[in-house]
Amino acid sequence: MRIAIGIEYDGTAYNGWQRQKTGVGVQQRVEEALAHVANEPVEVVCAGRTDTGVHASGQVGHFDTQSVRSLRGWLLGANSKLPDDISIRWVRHVADDFHARYSALARRYRYRILNRLVRSALHRHRAWWVHQPLDADAMHSAAQALLGEHDFSAFRSAGCQAATPRRELTSIRVERDGDWLTIDVCANAFLQHMVRNITGTLVAIGAGEEPVAWAREVLESCDRKRAGVAAPPQGLMLVRVDYPPGTFDDAATRASASPAEGG
């Protein structure tokens, strides 16, 4: 029997999603909680491996089990064993051929920047504080050059193990609301540090250090050394994973991973 789960977590205290040889990954805590309910070992496969310090409001995973429990039992039982910074939001039975990673059509990430003179004591783990003024319109305009299918090697980490650097970016939006800048990005898949490297490049443009056309030049160079610095991880959140219609049996499941809740 295959079961899908929706997960949210504050990644501050974790070494990313993946179970680690040293340190603790979110995966370890989720598997331990589910194993307690199942009374057997459980292995969870996720839609996207987030890095150290990165958060999620719409992570999706799946696991196989022979244990028969109600969906409510899985949900409440696992959450009772999870720390306060991890929560399973929903549980659903899925077809045996469902795969949290390979069945996904797209992933949506959000990056938040606090753009004001003074730092925040409350948002230090949820946003990148940039004190110099940023031109959000210039950043948005520059970002549009990244739309479409491209070789994103210029925005790929040196340690990225993806088989190909080609990804299709279907939307990217930069918006300002007072002191806050939000970058929403959707693609079929992402390379390691791709969103953070794109963000660092756009911030350099927003700060007036580089022209709007620089984003396209960096992309076409396929050279990571040409791009901006990697934005810090705490501003990044996985807000949604899209699947084919009918994958889950009710609208509430899909709505629970809405990007609107990712801020």
The residues near 209 (Cβ < 8 Å, ≥ 6 apart) are none
Which helix (DSSP H) or strand (DSSP E) does residue 216 occupy?
helix 214-221
Backbone angles phi, psi at 9, to 5 degrees: -160, 150
DSSP state of 171: E
Instruction: Single out the catalytic residue among 10, 51, 184, 242.
Output: 51
CB 2 within 8 A of CB 64: yes
DSSP result, 56-92 = EEEEEEEEE-S----HHHHHHHHHHHS-TTEEEEEEE
Cβ–Cβ under 8 Å, residues 36 and 26? no
DSSP 53: T
- CA 161 from chain centre, in angstroms, equals 17
Quick one: residue 172, left, alpha or beta (phi over 0 = left, psi -120 to 50 = alpha)? beta
Which residues, including other chains, have CB under 8 Å from residue 155's CB and lie 6 or more apart? 191, 193, 194, 197, 198, 201, 218, 219, 224, 227
- Catalytic-residue membership of 250: no
On whether the CB atoms of residues 75 and 90 are closer than 8 A, the answer is yes
Catalytic positions, please? 51
